[in-house]
Amino acid sequence: MSIAQQRTGSFETAASEAGRRKTILGRIMLWAVSIAIAIYVFAPLYWVFIQSLMLEPDIFRWPPYVVPPRVTLANYTKVFTMPDTPVIRWIFNSAFVSFSRIGLELTIATLAAYAFARLEFPGRDKIFFGILTTMMIPGQVTLIPTYLIMGRLKWIDTYHALIWPGAASVFPIFMLRQFFQTIPRELEEAAILDGCGRLRVLWKVIVPLSTPAYSALAIFIFMGNWNDLFWPLIITNSLEMRTLVPGLTILRGTYSTQRGLVMAAAAFSVVPVMIFYAIFQRRIIEGVAMTGLTGQ
């Protein structure tokens, strides 16, 4: 072996070792950043849960406990039995409104998205663009007109006012329209040749193939309505019609010195969203990823 070949081999070995070090260093930095972000996200949630399981003297101790010295479920028991803050009713209202909005928004969005994705009619793209532009209008701009409409309909402090406004949301229409365009037209044409009408093609062919998009939209709609504070706080007057998140503001004002009770109620506002996301996590990622495949 010549001297030139030896030098070339040594250079290649050094380059491969340097590349390996860079790869290891990059992985270490990626893990460090990921762990830091995870701590930043989950630390408040962990703090809520451990304080909901602690007694009041332990909660106000300084320095605070990282692990509860004594675990108790007294806060969870008491939060359901307080007469002046009907937490169980608030949880029911939040669940009823959230699931009602999921069904209503997905039904309306399915019909509209299919029309914009598959049907040919004059001005289709211009109408769709006009609908998309409404996403740039802040909700605060339409707040007063919507409230006045609810008053004219005598829907203030009712489930109608919590469910119907925003039932025809633009984002679900946009997302489903984009997803429908990724489905091959040949499947639709084959179903039509077999004697299916448009609605039957939609419900028997398009909708079953779009479950990832529906799963992603379901969690988005659920989270948006479950965590909504502003509209329920304005449109409801009685304690019985409040949802959970606005109810927490009342609970915090009434029992501000009993932090364990407030944390226990706050935990109930977090757990359903986490469970919902854990169940549909894979389909949510698939739905969001596949929605961006079309460039039409």
Compute the distance between CA of residue 195 and CA of residue 197 in angstroms, rounded to an integer: 7
Query: 239 and 134 share a domain?
Result: yes
Q: Which of 172, 183, 181 is nearest to 103 (CA)?
A: 172
Domain that residue 117 falls in? 76-291
Provide the pLDDT for residue 296. 44
Compute the distance between CA of residue 128 and CA of residue 164 in angstroms, rounded to an integer: 22
Provide the pLDDT for residue 107. 94
Query: 242 and 98 share a domain?
Result: yes
Provide the pLDDT for residue 292. 52
Provide the pLDDT for residue 274. 78
Query: 38 and 178 share a domain?
Result: no
Query: 100 and 35 share a domain?
Result: no
Q: Where are the beta strands (DSSP E) in the chain?
A: none
Neighbours of 150 (CB within 10 A): 20
Provide the pLDDT for residue 8. 53
Which amino acid makes up residue 178? Q
The CATH number covering residue 229 comes to 1.10.3720.10
Query: 46 and 95 share a domain?
Result: no
Tally of domains within the chain: 2
Compute the distance between CA of residue 242 and CA of residue 236 in angstroms, rounded to an integer: 6
Query: 255 and 174 share a domain?
Result: yes
* Dihedral (Cα; 116, 119, 123, 128), 10-degree rounding: 0
Q: What is the pTM of this model?
A: 0.79
Query: 140 and 263 share a domain?
Result: yes
Compute the distance between CA of residue 198 and CA of residue 192 in angstroms, rounded to an integer: 8
Query: Which of the residues in the chain have pLDDT under 70?
Result: 1-21, 254-257, 283-296
Q: Domain for residue 28, yes or no?
A: yes
Query: 130 and 275 share a domain?
Result: yes
Query: 149 and 246 share a domain?
Result: yes
Query: 159 and 277 share a domain?
Result: yes
Query: 90 and 220 share a domain?
Result: yes
Query: What angle, 0 to 180 degrees and rounded to 10, lies between the N-to-C axes of helices 244-254 and 87-118?
Result: 150
Query: 108 and 254 share a domain?
Result: yes
Measured between alpha carbons, how far apart are the two ends of the chain, in Å?
A: 60
Provide the pLDDT for residue 295. 45
